[in-house]
């Protein structure tokens, strides 16, 4: 009698484990079906954000290069301005030259 009850209780326990596993599998697949569309939307937005960030990064790099070129041009313009001032000073000094003796022929 005890063996029969033990066998019966073992069968009921195995059936309850089987029902539980089936219920969990169905709930899990239902949960995935609910979550996956939302994940697709999130992944799409992440991809859009990444592409925008990459585009902004490339634009920023180009702007930095242009700023460097402008800095170089500005330095060259300042150097040219200094050279022009030096030339004007020397020309003004040459114009202001007055001979100390007047020689007549």
Q: Torsion angle, CA of 18/23/26/32, rounded to 10 degrees?
A: -120
* Side-chain half-sphere CA neighbours of 21 within 13 A: 6
| Burial class of 17 by CB neighbour count within 10 A (0 to 12, 13 to 18, 19+) | exposed
Please tell me the predicted confidence (pLDDT) of residue 78.
85
pTM of the model: 0.46
Give the pLDDT confidence of 78-99 residue by residue, as tens digits.
888 888 888 888 888 877 766 6
Rounded CA-CA distance 44/37 in Å is: 11
- Asked if the model's pLDDT at residue 103 lies above 80, the reply is no
pLDDT digits (tens, 9 = 90+) for 11-43: 999 999 999 998 888 877 776 667 777 888 899
Both tokens assigned to 4:
């029969």
98: phi > 0 → left, psi -120 to 50 → alpha, else beta; which?
A: beta
């Amino acid at each position: 009698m005890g063996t029969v009850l033990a066998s019966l209780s073992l069968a009921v326990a195995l059936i309850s484990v089987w029902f539980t596993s089936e219920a969990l599998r169905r709930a899990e697949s239902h949960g995935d079906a609910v979550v996956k569309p939302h994940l697709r939307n999130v992944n799409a937005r992440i991809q859009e954000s990444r592409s925008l960030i990459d585009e902004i990064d490339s634009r920023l790099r180009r702007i930095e290069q242009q700023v460097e070129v402008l800095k170089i041009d500005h330095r060259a313009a300042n150097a040219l301005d200094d050279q022009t001032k030096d030339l004007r000073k020397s020309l003004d000094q040459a114009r202001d030259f007055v001979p100390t003796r007047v020689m007549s022929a």
